A and B are shown apart, each in its own frame.
Chain A
Amino acid sequence: MTTPAPQTRIDLVRVAEMVEPGSRVLDVGCGDGALLRLLAERRGVDGRGIELSQQGVNDCVANGLSVVQGDADKDLADYPDDAFDYVILSQTLQATRQPRVVLEHMLRIGRRAIVSFPNFGHWRIRAQLAFKGRMPVTENLSHAWYDTPNIHFCTIRDFVLLTREVQAQIETSAALDNLGRPLQVNLPWWTQNLIGEQAVFLLRRSR
């Protein structure tokens, strides 16, 4: 399910820093369990994972992590309300069939949701489409249009609008460079949307 970018590790550190120590976390699309391990080691969390690839699941369980094979689009509906303090979707939103439904489930299941995703509004991507007239292929998003698992790309601006649609409040957000380092804070949205390679949002229900 995940399409891990090369800079995943630094990206994961950013995500982990948003999580209160000792909380209960569900990592949706947990891959080989790198974030869950990081959260357990650094934040002492009680972590669970969902992962689409069976090999990823087996590796996680063999490493002592609580992970089930499952699909964000199908299986989040099974989880009860408020089951977790945080539900995390790391670099996976763009690969879901119904990003909005997935986000709504995350906000229902967790008191907070953390979403990280590649920003399709980055200037390099805009430039490829504008000047080459081709679907963008970058170092971080290296799939050709016909074999990409990423079927629902969005820009940072798009995502902010989606958070309003699902009545989520943005607690914090950060646009990151291609190494996962945060850009200078307090940049206006349009700037972040132009120069952020990826973004991380900490959300909570506003109702």
Chain B
Amino acid sequence: MGGPRPNLVGSTLEADTPNSLVVRFGADRPLTMEAGVNLAPLTIAYQTYGALNAAKSNAFLICHALTGDQHAANVNPVTGKGGWWETMVGRGKPIDTDRFFVICANVVGGCMGTTGPASINPATGRPYGLDLPVVTIADMVRAQAMLIDHLGIDSLFCVAGGSMGGMQVLQWAASYPERVFSALPIAAAAKHSAQNIAFHEVGRQAIMADPDWRGGRYLSEGVSPGKGLAVARMAAHITYLSESALQRRFGRKLQNRAERTFSFDADFQIESYLRHQGSIFVERFDPNSYLFMTRAMDYFDLAADYGGALAGAFKGAKTRFCVVSFTSDWLFPTSDSRAIVHALNAGGASVSFVEIETDKGHDAFLLEEPDLFATTRGFIDAAARARGLPTAARSGR
């Protein structure tokens, strides 16, 4: 897995010349980062779907997860596959592009065109690598706000996202309550748990232990720590699934063989599956970007910014919230969502909370989940009515 370096082509090309809409902010408009530095210039690569209405009241921001990107509902220019949230975003879907102006931007620190470690640092002419300041969820959101300003939008009808995207949703609601009419954090948490930080650290160590990582300067040196990144993805991928789904799908089934081979080949189907997940990931993702993304999630602790009480983050919030969790998600378990709901209630906010029964684990937010579609559709349509936006003309998908 992770051959010599053909894998780099796709991601590095996208990092500096993305197949996306792009906005560039110069030295006059730096991104003030939590690390205490200003980032300039800043490029934000983004996609939009649907049309902004005259009142600019139908803008719907989607925040992507750890290894996601701005290509939520179009063919991905690197993988050639469909967008990562085509289940939810499109004509007649819960996030209805016939009615909403949907925006999705690659986060700061990403590798699909927004400034990240694979982008060229204009000061050196070489990729930033680890010279990029450590990025936080709040930094990502502040950059998105710059994009929204650039698009001339005062207030977003809705901000939605799963996992790290859900963290951004919570940060949006806390940082810009008056700009967020409704918020849909899915399979998210207001802080990253010790267990989740631990898994991320395993992934980072795998990348940094790859001799081709070269202290983060692999792009300049023409190599790639593909093996390390693949191992990181394999470990992480396990956390996105549930034990019961793994058992049901793979069990102890052998991969294209009748007997054990008494070797360290991928005898089991689950091994083969994980190796495949690792190798296809390497073809589309920048290893340093993986370090930055996981770090951003680890650092996320919304309550810490409000004196330790999460309710403080949402005090007096007018935003309508719908919090969604999945029963078999052990990475962001329902208890994490419940903590958000408690804080929202304590802050007097308007909140719905659904826990969806599924064995698909954390990844359920990306998959075919009829209950997810039904409840989010209900929430979004009710919010649209309250905002005076047209409600679904048709209910089919």
Residues of A at the B interface (CB closer than 8 Å) are 46, 48, 54, 57-58, 60-70, 75, 78-80, 83
Contact = CB atoms under 8 A, between A and B. Distances in A.
B252 interface: no
Interface string B355-397: 1110000000000000100110111011001000000000000
Nearest to B379: A61
Given A64-B381, A78-B342, A69 B354 contact: yes
Given A61-B378, A75-B345, A80-B346, A68 B353 contact: yes
Given A54-B357, A68-B352, A69-B353, A61 B342 contact: no
A62 to B, nearest CB: 4
B35 to A, nearest CB: 34
B238 to A, nearest CB: 27
Contact of B356 (A46, A58, A68): A58
Contacts of B371: 58
A58 B354 contact: yes
Interface in B162-217: none
Given A61-B375, A62-B378, A64-B379, A78 B346 contact: yes
Nearest to B342: A78
Contacts of B381: 64
Contact of B354 (A54, A64, A79): A54
A69 B351 CA distance: 10
Interface residues of B, number: 26
A70 to B, nearest CB: 8
Given A62-B377, A65-B382, A54 B348 contact: no
Contacts of A79: 345-346, 348
Interface of B: 320, 322-323, 341-342, 345-348, 350-357, 371, 374-375, 377-379, 381-382, 385
Contacts of B350: 46, 48, 66
Contacts of A48: 350-351
Contacts of A46: 350
A64 B386 CA distance: 10
20 contacts: A48-B350, A54-B355, A57-B353, A58-B371, A62-B375, A62-B378, A64-B381, A64-B385, A65-B352, A66-B382, A67-B352, A68-B323, A68-B341, A68-B351, A70-B341, A75-B345, A78-B346, A79-B346, A80-B346, A80-B347
Contacts of A57: 352-355
A76 to B, nearest CB: 9
A61 B346 contact: no
Nearest to A60: B352
A80 B309 CA distance: 14
A61 B352 contact: yes
A169 B342 CA distance: 29
A63 B345 contact: no
Chain A interface, >50% SS class: mixed
A59 to B, nearest CB: 9
B175 to A, nearest CB: 22
A69 B357 CA distance: 13
Nearest to A84: B348
A79 B353 CA distance: 15
Contacts of B375: 58, 61-62
| 9 nearest A-B residue pairs (beta carbon) | A64-B382, A62-B378, A68-B353, A62-B374, A61-B375, A61-B352, A78-B345, A78-B342, A64-B378
B260 to A, nearest CB: 43
Nearest to B374: A62
Contacts of B355: 54, 57, 69
A70 B341 CA distance: 10
Contacts of A62: 374-375, 377-378
Contacts of A54: 354-355, 357
Q: Which has the most chain B C-beta neighbours within 10 Å: A57, A66, A83?
A: A66
Given A58-B374, A61-B379, A62-B375, A80 B352 contact: no
A46 B350 CA distance: 10
A62 B372 CA distance: 9
A61 B348 contact: no
A69 B322 CA distance: 12
Contact of A66 (B351, B357, B385): B351
Contacts of A75: 342, 345
B4 to A, nearest CB: 50
Given A61-B379, A69-B354, A69-B355, 12 more contacts: A54-B354, A57-B352, A57-B354, A61-B352, A61-B354, A62-B378, A65-B352, A65-B378, A66-B351, A67-B352, A70-B341, A78-B345
B351 to A, nearest CB: 6
Q: Which has the most chain B C-beta neighbours within 10 Å: A46, A54, A58?
A: A58
A18 B172 CA distance: 39
Contacts of B351: 48, 66, 68
A75 B374 CA distance: 25
B348 A83 contact: yes
B389 to A, nearest CB: 13
B26 to A, nearest CB: 43
Nearest to A63: B378
Nearest to A57: B354
